[in-house]
Structure 1
Amino acid sequence: MADELVRRAQRFVNTTYNNGATLGISKLDENGQTGWTTMYALTRALQYEMGITSLSDSFGPTTLSTIGAKYGKLDGTTIPSANFCRIIQSALYCKGYDGGEIDGTYNSRVQDAVVKLNQNMGVSSTYPGSSLWPKVVKGLFNMDAYVTVSNGSDAIRSIQQWLNGRYILRKDFYVIPCDGHHSRDVAKSMLYAIQFELGMADGTANGVFGPGTQSGLRSHTVSTGTTGTWAQLFTAAMILNKRNVPFGNFTATVRSGVESFQSFIKLPVTGSGDFQTWASLLVSYGDQSRPGTACDGVTKITPARAQTLKDAGYKYIGRYLYNSSTSSLPEKQIQPGELATIKEYGLRCFPIYQTWSRSADYFTYGQGTNDAFMAIEWAQYHGFKPGSIIYFAVDYDAMDGEVTDYVIPHFRGVMRTIGENSSYGVGVYGPRNVCQRVADAGYAAASFVSDMSSGFSGNLGYPMPTNWAFDQIVTLTVGSGAGAIEIDKNIASGRDTGQGDFDPGSATDGLDTDLDKAAYQASMLTDVKSYLTSIGVPETGGDGWTDSDWATLGGISTTKAFELVLSADWLFTSLARQLKLRKALIQAPVLWELRKLNPLDFVADEAVKLGVKDDSSTGWGQIFAWVTIDARNYCMQQRIINGTPLTGSDTRTVWDNLQDPLYNIRSVSYLTVYNAHQLGISRPGLNTGAADTQALLARYNGTGDDAAKYGRELMGLYNVLENYNQLSRTT
C-alpha cells in the first residue's frame, strides 16, 4: 500500500540528487513503498551530505564514526544543513514515524518522533530527549522494525529492548530490531551480552560461541533462586527458544520450563541452567562434546567400523540410498552387503536421499515427484521395509521466501508421490526453519536437523523443530586403523529408530531407463513423424482443424507433442519401473492424444469449466474423470497405490487434477493396469506380448471397431517408442 509521505521522500531524493546520478544509483521509483532501495538511497544521501566521497549502500563504520566525529549527536543545533535534515525526516517517514513536512527543519514533530523512536528501541534511558545519537541513526537507516509486527511476541520485544538499553554503549553492540521476532541479529546480540557480562573487553567480545565464552558459561550455572543479570539472560534465551517462562528471576516456573526443554532437547533433566542447557539455547549445535547415539556419513560400514561405532555408543546410522556420481565420494551410497553388516552388529539404519539439493532452483514440485520415485525404487532395491522414513535433503541455507516458493512445493511432490506409491514415510533434512515449515505444511513426519551449520540463517534465531528425530551437531573421526571412520555425530530423539532388519531387496534388471537423448532423440523424432505421416497424421493440422483454429486454439504438432512427452521422460520411466511394465505403453497414448487434440476437445473442456458439463476427456492423456476414478480405485484395491477411495462426488476435483500433467500421466499408467483387468488378461509386465499390448492400447479408447482401429494405430507408435527405449536400457 502506497504511503504519500514515503512517496514525497522518494521524490525528494530524485529532485535533489539528479535522479540518483549524484549518489551513483538509478532514479527511485516513486511508489510510496518503503524498501531497501529507498533506504540505501537515503544512506548514500546522508554520506554525501557529510562529505564522504566513497558512497555505499552500507551504513558502515565510516558513516557511523563520521557522525560522531563531526556532530556528536544530531539535533536542531548540530544538523549541518536543510537537506541533511530532510534526509532524517525522510528516513523517519520510511520507518513509520512523523518526520514533519520534509522541510529541512528539526521541529517539534521531528523531536517527538525521535523521542518515540528511542523509546521503541529501548534506549531512552541511555539516550534521553530528542537527539539522535550515532547508533540510533544507524538503526534508523535500515529496514528493522521497532514495534511488534506480523504477530510478533511482546515478550520477545521486551527482551530486544532490554538488550538494546543495557548494551548500546558497548563498542560492537548496535541497535537490534524490536519487532517481537527472534532472528540472526538477536541471536548474535545474546552472545555479545553474555561475553560482556563475562567481562570481555570491547574488541575481544565478538558474538561467537568460542572457547572463552564456553569456559565462562561453565561457571555461571543458574538455578531456582538466581536473580539479576544472569537470570535475565537465561530466561531471555528460554523465551527466544519459544519456552513459556517469565523474563527475569529464576523461579519455580522457570525450573519447570527448563526441565521440559531439557527433556525435549535430550539433555540430562536437571532443572538448572547448566552449561549444556546454555549451549543448546544459544547455538544450534549446543554442546558438541555431549554423547550422541546416532550418526551419518559417506563411508561404507565395514565390520571393523561397525564395531567402532557400537563401542562408541552409536545405535543409528544414516546412509544414502543413492549417489549420482560414481567418482565423487564412491562409498556415499549404501554398498553391497553393508546393511547386512549393520544388522549383524545390532545397529540400525535410517535412509537419506540426496542428489544435488544445494540451491533454490533445484526444488520444484516436479523434482520432488522425481526424487520420491527414485527414493522409493532405491529404498526397495536396498531392502528397506515399509514404514521406513526417508529423509530428503535441503542442503543449503534456504531463505524463508525460498522455502515458500521452492522447498514447500518440492516436498508437496515428495509427499504425494511417497504417499501414493509406497508405504514409506517422508522426513526432511535441513536447517531448523526448513524442517519446521515443511513439517507445518504436513509434508514431513520427522526432521533431521543440520544444526552443525550454526551460521545458517535458517538455524540462527529458530528453535528446534517440534518433530525432530536426529540433530546433527559435529563432524569427527572415531576409531583407529581399519575401524577408523569419519561421521557426523547426531543426537537422537527417539522419534525414528531406523531399520534393524532388511528385506532381500528388489532387482532392477530389464527395467526401462531414461532415454539416452543425446544418442537417440533426433532419430526417434524422425521415426515418430515418419510413422504418423504414414497413417495419415501430418506434422500439423488434420482432424477437423482449420488454419485459423490451429493458430487461435493452439494445436499441438507432432514435434511439439513429442517434445512434451520427452520433457516428462523421467516420469514415464519412474512409473514404468514402479509398475514393472514398458514405458512405451504409457507414452504411446499420451503422445497420440496430445497430437490428436482437436477443437471439440477445447469446447468440451470449456463446458466443464463453465459448469455446463460434468466431465470431459481432458489433459495430456485425454482422460475422463470418471475413468480416472475407476482406474485409481482399482489400483487402490489391488494395493498398487495408496489413497482414499474416490466417488462420483470427486468428479470435478479429479477433473481439475487432470489438468496437471504429472497427475494425468500417472492416471494413464493406472488406467493401463485397470484396462488389463477389464480385458481379463494378465497385468502388463516387462514381457507382455504384442497381442495383449495392442489390446491394452485399444481398450484405452473403449470398445468396438473404433477402439480396434485405435489399437492398431497406436501399436505402430508403441513399436517406434519401444525400439528406442530398448536401445537406451541396453546400452
Structure 2
Amino acid sequence: MDAMVLKVQKWLNDTYGQDSRFNRITEDGKTGWGTIYGLRRALQIELGIQETSNSFGPTTYSLCPTIAQGSEGNLVYIVQGGLWCKGYSPGGFNGYYGNGTYAAVKALKTDAGFPTASGNMQRDFMRALLDMSAFTCLRQGSEAVRTIQQQLNYNYYDYYQICPCDGLYNRDMNKMLIYALQKELGIPKSSATGTWGPTTISKCKEKSFSIGNSSPIVKLIRYALVCNGFSVSTSSSTYDSTLDTILKNFSNSLMINKPTNQCNYTVIKSLLSSNGDTSRSALGCDTATKLTSVQIQTLKNNGYQYVGRYLTNTPNGTLDKCLTLTEINNILSSGLKLFLIFQESGNSAANFTNIIANKNGEKAFEAASSFGIIQNETIYFAVDFDPTEDVIRSNVVPYFRGILNSRAKKYKIGVYGTRNVCNILRSELNISNFFVSDASYGFSGNLGFTMPKEWSFDQFSTDISIGTGNGQVSIDKVAVSGKDNGVTKIVTPGINNFYNYLTSVFNLAMNYSKNDISKSNKLVLQFFRKKGGYGGDWFGTSVSNDASNIQWNLVAGEIDDDFCNLVKSTLDQDIPEFKDPSTDCYYDFEHLAATLQSNMHVFIDTENEGLDLFIDLYSGWMGDLTTFAKDIETGKPSNKSYQEYANERLFQPGTSFSMEDYIADIDGINLARSLLSNTSMKITDAFYNYFMNAENGETYSSTRTALWIIRTYGNYSAFKEQSDYLNQDVVPVSTFRLLLNKSSTISKDAYTAAHNAFNDYVRSCLQ
C-alpha cells in the first residue's frame, strides 16, 4: 500500500463522492484503473462536463487547460494525484503548483522524450498522466525500445498522442509508428488513422529506398527493425549496406522476397503489421472446403505446395469442413503436402477449459489415427479469437496443458493463434510448432508483438477465391517456413484396426495366462500361426505353405488349441487387414508370427545352438530364398540367363519369395530381437513401436533391412559371408534344400542366381 496513493483516493471520494457524475473508488492505496478513472471523472467535473465517463475523450481533451506553476485549486490536486499514482513525487498533496510539482512534471516530460520542455501541465501530457501507461523502462522492456518511444513522442505526438515509454513494443507503439509513417508520407493529420488504409498503402507503394538514400522513413524502418527483435543503429536516416543486410535477415525470417540492395513496400508493411503485403505469393494455403481433384489441381496451378485442412467438423455446426480419406489420398497423390488443423470451437475464452481440452485432445487423436496420420506429424489446435494476456494465462495455457496430457500428445502439438498466444505458450509449455494467425492484423495479440521464431505456417491473407468453374475454391494464403514438412504419406488406416484387434487378443492371453507377459506373447503368436497354417495338430497338415504341422511345431513350438478356440469364440470377427507402412503391401501377419516365434523358440538343447540357428534361418528368409531357387529353375525361359531371371522375379507376385514374404521374415527377426532383449515387453508394444511409432520421422519398419543387417551381422560384408556359406551344397544346407524343395535336381546356377539377386537387394537397401 502506498500512503500517498491512499491519500489521493480519500481526497477524491471526499471531494466528489456525493456528485452523481463521480463513481466512488476503492481506498486501498494501490494505483489501478479505478483510481485513474476517478481522476479522469474529477477532471471532467472541474471542466464542467455533465456526461462524465471513464475515458479521456475528445471533449475532455479540448476543454483541458494548461495548468501552470503558481496555480492552485482542485485542478492542481488532480495533477498532483496523477503524479503520485505515476510514481513521481510533487513534494506534497496540497493543491498548490509549486516548485515540487513543477519539477515532477518536468521529470515526467523528460521520461516521455521531452527533456527541454517546461514543468507546466498541458493537455497532451494530462492525457498521458491520467493513464496506466509507464514512462520508465519496465522489467520486461528494453532501453533500446524505450529510446525509440521517446523519439517517436518528440517527433510525432502531434499526429497521435503521448505514448508510453516503458521499453515494450506494444499496440500503442505500433500505432505511433504507423502515424509517424503517415506523417512522413504526407498524409494530413485529419486523415491519419494509425492503421494501414488504402491511402497509406498506395503512398507507401510509391516509396523504395536504395543504398545511399536518406529519409525520415529510413529512420522509422530502423525503429521497426529494433521492435521486431533485430539490432541496428537508430541514429541514422541513411539506407546503408549494414541496414540492407539486417533487413535481408528480417525478410528471410518471414520468408519475404526482398529486392537486392533495396527496401520496398513489401518489407516496410511486414515491419509495421503482422500480415504484411497481402498480395505477395505463398507456398501454402488453408481452406474449409472439402477439396475435389479439380480444386486440388487449381491449388497446384497457382503454385501452392501445402494445404491446411480440418480434422473434424464442429458438433451441431452447419459447415462440413472435415477431411476424408479420399481427399487425403488425392492431396498426397497430387504431390501437395498436408498440414492438420483442429478447430471445433475456440472462438471465446469459455471454450478453453481442462475438460474441453481432454475431449478435444481425444477427438483430434482419434481423427488423426483413423486417417492413418503417422505420429511424427503436427496437429495445430486453434485459438481463433484475440485473448488478452490475462485470458491467455488463465484459460489458454491450462487448455493446452490439458491437450498435452491427452492422447493427442502422441502427435506433435501445435498452436494456431496470435503472435502473443504463440509466444506465451512457447514460454510456458515449451510448445514450438506455430501456425500464426497474422491475417488478423487488428488483433491486440498481433499488434506490437514479434513473430515467434518457431513459426511453421503464417496465415497472412484470408477469403481469397482462385480458379474457375468446378475448380474454384476459397482459400487463405499461408507463408511456409519449412520447419514443418507437412504430411506426405499416411499409414493405411487398417493398421490401427489391426493394432486394436491384436490388443484384444493379447488381453485375452493375459487373462488366460494369469498376467504372464512372456507366456501371453507366445499365446498371441500361436493364435496367428494357427490361423495361417504354421502349426497345430501334430497329425494334421497345414492349410497353406505345404508345410506340415509337425515341422512348425518343432521349429516354433506347440500351439495351445484351447486358447485359440477361446479367441475365436470371444472375438468372433475376421482379422482386420492392413498394409505395410513402407511397401504398401497387404501384410501377412500369420507369416510374421511363424518367423518371429521360430526365432524365439529353442528347437533343441543349447549344445546344438548351431543347428538351431540354421532352423531359424530356414524357417524365415533363407527358407523362402531356397524355394525361390526352385522357381528360377522351373520357370526360366530359354532366352534368359539364370541371373537375369532371378533379378527380374525376386519379390514378384506368384513366386515363392514375394515382397510380403520378405518383410514378414525380416520383421519377424527384428521383433524377435526386441522381445528377447526385453522379456517384459508386450507383443502389442513391440508391434506399435515397430510399425506405428514415427517419433524420429519414420517407422522402424521403414528401415527394416538396415535394422536387420546391423543388429544381426554388424555390416553387409558379414551378412554376405553367411549368405555365401548358405549357398554351398554341404550338410546341413543340402538337407534343408531337400526338405523344402523335395528335389535334388535344382541346379547350382539357380541357387547362386537366387542368392546373388537377394544379396544385391540387401546391399541396395544399405546404400
* TM more than 0.5: yes
Shift of 1:641: 9.3
Q: Do 1:411 and 1:443's aligned partners in 2 also have CA atoms closer than 8 Å?
A: no
Q: In the TM superposition, what is the alpha-carbon distance from 1:486 to its structure 2 partner?
A: 0.3
After superposition, the C-alpha distances for 1:546-573 in whole angstroms (9 at most, x for unaligned) are: xxxxxxxxxxxxxxxxxxxxxxxxxxxx
Q: Is the 8 A contact 2:282 2:480 kept in 1?
A: yes
**Mapped partners of 1:197, 1:12: distance in 2:** 45
Q: Deviations over 1:120-145 (max 9, x none)?
A: 111345xx211111111101001000
Task: For 1:1-20, list aligned pairs within 5 A.
Answer: 2-18=1-17
Q: Distance in 2 between matches of 1:42 and 1:451?
A: 37
Does structure 1 retain, via aligned residues, the 8 Å contact 2:208–2:262? Answer: yes
In the alignment, which of 442, 461, 485 is matched to residue 473 of structure 2? 485
Q: Aligned pair 1:473/2:460, yes or no?
A: yes
Q: Give identity over the alignment, percent.
A: 35
Are 2:26 and 2:34, in contact at CA under 8 Å, matched by a contact in 1? no
Secondary structure at the residue paired with 1:169? Answer: helix
Root mean square deviation, CA, Å: 2.3
- Residues 274-322 of structure 1, C-alpha deviation per residue, up to 9 Å, x if partnerless? 2111011111110000001111111011011001000000111111101
Of 98, 101, 108, 1:107 maps to 98
TM superposition shift of 1:335: 2.9
CA distance in 2, matches of 1:409, 1:36: 27
- How far, CA to CA, are the matches of 1:326 and 1:410 in structure 2? 22
1:93 corresponds to 2:90: no
- How far the C-alpha of 1:64 sits from its partner, in A, is 0.5
Equivalent residues in 2 for 1:208-219 (5 A)? 208-219=195-206
Q: Tell me if structure 2 keeps the 8 A contact 1:477–1:486.
A: yes
C-alpha contact (below 8 Å) 2:69/2:119 kept by paired residues: no
Q: Deviations 1:257-284 (Å, cap 9, x if unpaired)?
A: 1121111110124353221110111111
Structural mapping, 1:252-651, within 5 Å = 252-269=241-258, 270-325=260-315, 327-330=317-320, 332-418=321-407, 422=410, 424-475=411-462, 476-505=464-493, 638=685
Alpha-carbon distance in structure 1 between the residues aligned to 2:40 and 2:155? 27
Query: In structure 2, do the counterparts of structure 1 residues 636 and 259 end up closer, same or farther at CA, with 3 Å as the change threshold?
Result: farther
Question: Given the two structures, how large is their TM-score scaled by the length of structure 2?
Answer: 0.63
Does residue 66 in structure 1 map to residue 59 in structure 2?
no
| 2:193 aligned with 1:194 | no
Task: Give, in whole Å, the separation in 2 of the partners of 1:350 and 1:95.
Answer: 49
Q: Give 1:160's aligned residue.
A: 149
Q: Distance in 1 between the 2:281 and 2:421 partners?
A: 25
- Give 1:443 deviation, angstroms: 4.2
Structure 1: distance between partners of 2:148 and 2:431: 33
AA in 2 matched with 1:3: D
1:163 offset after TM fit, Å? 0.8
Which of 49, 72, 91 is the equivalent residue of 1:52? Answer: 49
Within 1, Cα distance between the matches of 2:682 and 2:27? 58
Query: Quick one: distance in 2 between partners of 1:634 and 1:47?
Result: 76
Query: Per the alignment, do residues 425 and 277 of structure 1 end up closer, same or farther by CA in structure 2, a change over 3 Å counting?
Result: same
Q: CA deviation at 1:634?
A: 6.6
8 Å Cα contact 1:352-1:392 kept in structure 2: yes
Deviations 1:493-533 (A, max 9, x none): 11112112222325789x9xxxxxxxxxxxxxxxxxxxxxx
Contact 2:21 2:52 in 1 (8 A): yes
SS of 2:307 mapped into structure 1? strand
Separation in 2, partners of 1:639, 1:114 = 73
Q: Secondary structure at the match of 2:263?
A: coil
CA distance in 2, matches of 1:276, 1:238: 14
- Map of 2:109 onto structure 1: 118
The C-alpha deviation readout for 1:41-71, integer Å capped at 9, x for no partner, is: 010001101111111101110000001xxx3
**Corresponding residue for 2:136?**
147
Pairing 1:241–2:232 present: no
Q: For residues 551-604 of structure 1, what are the alpha-carbon distances to aligned partners after superposition, in whole Å with 9 as ceiling and x for unaligned?
A: xxxxxxxxxxxxxxxxxxxxxxxxxxxxxx9xxxxxxxxxxxxxxxxxxxxxxx
Whether contact under 8 Å (1:469, 1:496) holds in the other structure is yes
Instruction: Please name the residue that 1:23 is paired with.
Output: 21
Q: CA separation in 2, counterparts of 1:634 and 1:183?
A: 54
Mapped to 1, the partners of 2:108 and 2:682 lie a distance apart of 64
Q: What residue number does 1:42 align with?
A: 39
In structure 2, the CA distance between the partners of 1:132 and 1:378, relative to structure 1 (3 Å rule), is same
Residues 1:37 and 1:498: Cα distance change in structure 2 (over 3 Å)? same
With 200-209 and 390-399 compared, the bigger mean Cα shift is at: 200-209
Deviations 1:368-389 (A, max 9, x none): 2322221111001122122110
Equivalent position SS for 1:74: coil
Separation in 2, partners of 1:98, 1:236: 32
* Range moving further from structure 2, 401-410 or 112-121: 401-410
219 and 406 in structure 1: CA distance in 2 versus 1, 3 angstrom threshold: same
Given that residues 456 and 480 in structure 2 are in contact (C-alpha distance below 8 angstroms), is that contact kept between their aligned partners in structure 1? yes
Aligned length: 506
The answer as to whether partners of 1:426 and 1:443 remain within 8 angstroms in 2 is: no
Matched, 1:182 2:169: yes
CA distance in 2, matches of 1:472, 1:441: 23
Give the Cα separation in 2 of the matches to 1:40 and 1:53: 16
Q: Deviations over 1:668-706 (max 9, x none)?
A: xxxxxxxxxxxxxxxxxxxxxxxxxxxxxxxxxxxxxxx
- Aligned partner of residue 489 in structure 1, secondary structure: strand
**Matched-pair contact (CA < 8 Å) for 2:41–2:53:** yes
Task: Give the C-alpha shift of residue 30 in structure 1.
Answer: 1.6
How far apart are residue 253 of structure 1 and its match?
Answer: 3.0
SS at 1:427's partner residue? Answer: strand
* Partner secondary structure for residue 40 of structure 1: helix
CA contact 1:472–1:489 (8 Å) conserved in 2: yes
User: Which structure would you say has the larger Rg?
Assistant: 2
Deviation at 1:227, TM superposition (A): 3.4
**Distance in 2 between residues matched to 1:324 and 1:84, nearest whole Å:** 56
Which amino acid is the alignment partner of residue 98 of structure 1?
Answer: S
Pick which of 435-444 and 180-189 moved more: 435-444
**What is the CA distance between 1:229 and its match in structure 2?**
1.3
* TM norm structure 1: 0.66
Contact 1:284–1:451 (8 Å) recurs in 2: yes
1:324-378 Cα offsets, whole Å, 9 max, x none, are 2355112x11135111111221111111111111112222234323222211110
Q: Secondary structure at the match of 1:392?
A: strand
Contact 2:46 2:75 (C-alpha < 8 Å) held by counterparts: yes
What is residue 757 of structure 2 aligned with on the other side? Answer: none
Q: Secondary structure at the match of 2:262?
A: coil
C-alpha contact 1:23 1:41 (8 A) present in aligned 2: no
Aligned twin of 2:217:
230
The one-letter amino acid of 1:31's match is: D
Structure 2 residue aligned with 1:565: none
CA separation in 1, counterparts of 2:30 and 2:315?
48
Amino acid in structure 1 at the alignment position of 2:332: K
SS at match of 1:6: helix
1:5 and 1:122 mapped to 2: Cα distance? Answer: 26
